[in-house]
A and B are shown apart, each in its own frame.
Chain A
Amino acid sequence: MKLEVRGVRVELKSREVLRNVTLRLEEGEILSILGPNGSGKTTLLRTIFGILKPLDGTVLFDGKKLEFDEIAKIAAYLPQEVPQTKLRVIDVVLLGRTPHLSRIKRAGEIDYGIALEALREVGLRGFEERIFDELSGGEKQKVMLARLFAQKPKLMLLDEPTAHLDLSAQIEIMRLIRRQVDSGCSAIIAMHDINLAAAFSDKILMLKNGEVHLVGKPEDVITPESVREVYGVDVSVRKIGKYVIVIPAARGSGNGIHVHVICGGGSGAEIIQMLLEAGYKVSAGVLNALDSDWEIATELGCEVISEAPFCDISDESHERNIKMVENADFVVLANLSIGRGNLKNLIAAKVAAELGKLIVIEKDRLDRRNFAGKVAEIIYSEISSKSLVVRNEVEVLKSIQNFVKHRSGNP
């Protein structure tokens, strides 16, 4: 079924909650509505379902305007609040037949059949006689989905169907919705979880203060800019195939302390993330582009001194690295492998050690990760004597915090 919302304006208690909202939905599509609390997601769903009357604009089902009791026959709406009731599961699912029953409502054999089939679809056949209140959170939401399926809708409107559920239940619920949509209906889902929305939706609609901010494919709509504009937070966005993943971005250097990380080959990923989380300004280098540390550091928005893939560190990059070392408050030498190509990183670390600002993470002895021979050994032993050597990332963070606390400036 085709749904069209045209220029809808809704007021609640004389406050404008939706303004000029327009959207289209084709059969077999899932549209997720994203937006912060109070942006009008629930109001939009209730308006489409006909509970609220728009002051301007129309909602059209296959091009037709429908009355409230007619809408329930083709659309099903799942409110956000999970009911509390001691009704049996089958009684709850049978309620889905309500719009299809005659004036004096009694469920017939056909209705029972449809209800049992809906329970089978959500994988809860055999739960008929169980008491709804005694189910787990995930099971309850699946029963509610079965209630929706029993309504045989052409359009499903779901208000945060995965709220308060554990990860596996969230994914199961979304898969069930997807399967139902694939068998010939469509769905609009109000959501908070951007990643889940991106993974399961054909289209994303971002609402901000009751207005459509953006609408389109997940990978086009979900960008650091749009998330900042709608939610007011800084994030970085990674794309893996068709999946879009939103990660909290560096909180920026509240304390103004700059930590430079010398790493490579994945040795720096963890410390970079921890430092960023702790609010430090982080830079990294020299890293070959496409190295796993390089990917993470760039994704998380750090300043990175880059070298072309699979190339030795050039003099130019090395110089920039030295500059960075000089400017930084602390330098961390990660537990990286040393080869001919990145020997210059060790030299940069030596500079830092001489400046008295180096912290070395030594998880493995150097000889296990040294592929540059005697030279590296000599430099490393010099470095070790002039710097703070720790066993893991947590200790790095602790020692930096200690130094900062005692205002001693340099380690």
Chain B
Amino acid sequence: MQFVKFAKILVLFLICKTTLIISISFGPAGFIDIKDPLMQAVVFEYRLPRVLLAMLVGASLAAAGCAMQAFFRNPLADPYVLGVSSAASVGAAVVISLGIGSTWNIMLSAFLASLVTSFSVYRLGRRGENYAVLLAGIAVSSLLSGITAIIIYFSQQSAHEILFWIMGSFSRAIWQKVLLLTIPFFIGVTYLLLNSWNLNAILLGEEHARSLGINVERFRKELIAVTSLLTSASVAVCGIIGFVGIIVPHTMRLIFGEAHQRLLPSAILFGATLMPLVDLVSRTCTTGEIPVGAVTAILGSPFFLYILRRGL
């Protein structure tokens, strides 16, 4: 048993590493050629930060989705569905349109907007049935997406800019963004990994978690903060990329089961694998670039149908 688990993780790790190599090998400038100094520059200045950014974003969104599904006890909970991503994009759009859009400011503003939104969605959805939180999320999400579009429109930005925030893209990857994302990524992921036991407990319901001596009120606040941090940091560097938080954890559940001690690390690893692959497809399969969010949306719909069949 232990060996099988270890083997599964090892295979996942190897796939992740292979993806990294493949992703930096292909691109509009052609296949990698180590001896070509121009190509070295392309790989180092362009492809490598882009791939690393995609890995960090994929892992962050997957981890956030995983935690949200446990916290809301709802298999469809994820940063995109619950409107937390949209909130981050509003936060980002506001600072940019005010002309104070340094990367730090964007991150901070996105984080605050996400935090407020997560908390509101939780408050709105906690009283009702399973779908109440989803309805609350959809309501908040569509409102905020609209606001984002309007802000960008009135700040005289191009349609391309709107598309960047609403559909997501890694085309603006630079090393600075990679380094900036690393900090929230490590804080968030470390916290979640250390608390994977408590995530199992909260899966049974808040009262059951309390009955195990867990301070649910504090844990809830921390989870809202951490998932907001992971989501907003991702959105701040690459716009809204939806459904990653659903696709990745559910795929891993099929292989590793529900317990977060295994689910969470595998989801982080698989998120870091899937995202660069999706990005690779979006930047190489046509002459231009397809928005990454469009590809994940197409991938996401089968998962909704799968969950629909299986029952909420």
Contacts and interface: CB of A to CB of B under 8 A. Distances in A.
B212 A98 contact: yes
Interface string B254-266: 0001110100000
A51 B208 CA distance: 11
Contacts of B203: 83, 85, 87
B215 A79 contact: no
B215 A87 contact: no
B210 interface: yes
A386 interface: no
A77 B5 CA distance: 33
Contact of B200 (A71, A72, A91): A91
A101 interface: yes
A152 B179 CA distance: 47
Contact of A83 (B204, B213, B261): B204
Contacts of A84: 73
B213 A51 contact: no
Interface in A97-153: 98-99, 101, 104-106, 131, 151
A95 B204 contact: yes
A9 to B, nearest CB: 21
B197 A106 contact: yes
A69 B197 contact: no
Nearest to B196: A105
A98 B205 contact: no
B222 interface: no
Nearest to A159: B207
A68 B215 contact: yes
Interface residues of A, number: 30
B208 A79 contact: yes
B204 A69 contact: no
A250 to B, nearest CB: 41
Interface on chain B toward A: helix, strand, loop, or mixed SS? helix
B201 interface: yes
A91 B208 CA distance: 14
B208 A98 contact: no
Contacts of B73: 84
B174 interface: no
Contacts of B212: 72, 95-96, 98-99, 151
Interface string B5-18: 00000000000000
B213 A99 contact: yes
Which of the listed residues B198, B201, B204 has the most CB atoms from chain A within 10 Å of its own CB? B204
Nearest to A45: B211
Given A79-B205, A101-B197, A69 B215 contact: yes
Contact of A86 (B201, B208, B210, B258): B258
Interface in B244-276: 253, 257-259, 261
Contacts of B253: 86
Interface of B: 73, 194, 197-198, 200-201, 203-205, 207-208, 210-215, 253, 257-259, 261
